[in-house]
Amino acid sequence: MNTTAPHTPRHRAEAAARPADGPAVRVVVVIPAHDEEQALPATVASLAAQTRRPDRVLVVSDNSTDATVAVARAAGADVMETVGNTARKAGALNQAIATTTEDVVMVLDADTTIAPTFVEEGLAVLASAPEVAAVGGVFRGRPPQGYLQHCQANEYTRYGVQVDLTGRTAVLTGTAALVRRTALQEVADARGSVLPGDRGDVYDRHAITEDSELTLALRTLGHELRSPVTMSCTTELMPTAGDLHRQRVRWYKGMLDNLAEYGLTRTTWRYVGQQVMLAVGTLMMAAYLLLTAVTLVTGTFTLSPLWAAVGLVFAAERLVTVWGAGRRARLLAALVLPELLYDLALQRAFLHAAALFVTRRQTTWNHVAATA
């Protein structure tokens, strides 16, 4: 692929591609794909539309049974197929990255499209901040259909607001992120000693959430991460309650597993605290609902002015944080109860993940095929 899009002003493309007093940075986009023939054309097209095009696009087909390989080639991407991979996405990425030599590796999910300035902005951050090893996107959902997807869309919108306000990257998203090759090599060299996993692997093949594990790995090695809110990436929303539950169980269980592997350190204490607060919040919500139900049944329910005020503040916060997402998002937030039920579903997924973690049982990978 060409280095710059034809309509891009030359000075902008050069600024994004070249660090101060250094040679042009080369970028490879690695797209792991398993049966993604429907999603790939839009994903590759979003790369062709970049104001700073990547130097190479590599689709790594992992045990695909559909036309993923043919579709990727037709879209103009280079293609490789995994050999003997049993480690799913992490294994596919390890095999693909091992074949590349570019300065920056961008990992992009096959069902994800990125904003036109995504690559340019990410390279600009890396060029201006040597301490930053990776730059990730802030994801949002595709146009939602139905109650469940609207709740997910609002959740992602609030996450973007949180990142924008705090400036803190909790997890380097696996949907779309640019990482310096030097940092990836450091991770691979530290596996089996400083870091969990097998020496030589960039991604820990034993982790079920490879993005949160890589986040911990990079931070353990002293690297900083960024997620500018303007670097948006758009991905699939879960279509059913079962798909959502399985996705979130994997996310929660994956983080718990990763934290257990790393132990309590200067890097992990904040993440451990988040999991503790999530557990406490889940138990408090259950206790509150139980107490409310008991008082309603016994006829002793009274509305406290204090709790009424707290409830109003809570409702206002939910509304304000999705205000820019449109009328339907605001209406859903204003109703409060539908999103409360959604939150309860997420808390149920967390409890399920915690039970699997405590009993040392595994969860399953939930692959949802994208729609055209």
Q: What is the per-residue pLDDT across 123-182, written as a single tens digit (0 to 9) for each?
A: 999 999 999 999 999 999 999 999 999 999 999 999 999 898 888 888 999 999 999 999
* CA separation for the pair 102, 56 (Å, rounded): 9
Question: Is 28 within the bounds of a domain?
Answer: yes
0.75 cut: is pTM over it?
yes
Question: Is 316 within the bounds of a domain?
Answer: no
Q: Please, are residues 140 and 230 in contact by the beta-carbon 8 Å criterion?
A: no
Read off the CATH number of the domain in which 132 is found: 3.90.550.10
Can you give the pLDDT at residue 305? 85
- Residues in the chain predicted with pLDDT less than 50, given as ranges, are 1-17, 19-21
Question: Is 15 within the bounds of a domain?
Answer: yes
* CA separation for the pair 75, 35 (Å, rounded): 15
Question: Is 108 within the bounds of a domain?
Answer: yes
Question: Is 174 within the bounds of a domain?
Answer: yes
Question: Is 330 within the bounds of a domain?
Answer: no
Question: Is 80 within the bounds of a domain?
Answer: yes
* CA separation for the pair 149, 339 (Å, rounded): 11
Structural domain span for residue 128? 10-237
Work out how many domains the chain is built from and give that number. 1
Walk across the sheet containing 138-141 and list its strands. Answer: 113-114, 232-235, 138-141
* CA separation for the pair 101, 122 (Å, rounded): 19
Question: Is 345 within the bounds of a domain?
Answer: no
Can you give the pLDDT at residue 325? 93
Q: Which of 236, 172, 179, 164 is nearest to 210 (CA)?
A: 172
